[in-house]
Structure 1
Amino acid sequence: VYDSLGGEHLLQVYFVKGAGANAWSVNTVVDGVQVGGPDALTFDTVGGLATPAGGTVTVPAFLPAPGTNPLNLTIDYSQSTQFGAPFGVNRLVQNGYTTGRLSGVDIDDEGVVFARYTNGQSEVQGQVALASFQNPQGLQPLGENNWAQTLAAGEELTGAPGSSSLGLIQAGALEDSNVDLSEQLVELIIAQRNFQANTEVISTADSITQSVINIR
Structure 2
Amino acid sequence: ANVNTTGFKKDRAVFEDLLYQNIVPAGGQADAQTQTPTGLMLGTGTRVLATEKLHAQGNIITTENALDIAIAGEGFMSVQQADGTIGYTRDGSMKLDAQGQLVTSGGEAILPAIQIPQNATSVTIGRDGTVTAELANGGGSAQVGQIQLSIFVNNSGLQPVGRNLLKQTEASGAAIVAIPGEGGSGMLMQGSLEASNVNVVEEMVNMIETQRAYEINSKAISAADGMLRFLNNNL
Shorter-chain TM-score bucket reads 0.3 to 0.5
Q: Please give the TM-score of this superposition, normalised by the length of structure 1.
A: 0.42
Q: Radius of gyration: which is bigger? A: 1
Structure possessing the higher relative contact order (Cα contacts under 8 Å, 6 or more residues apart): 2
TM-score (norm 2): 0.39
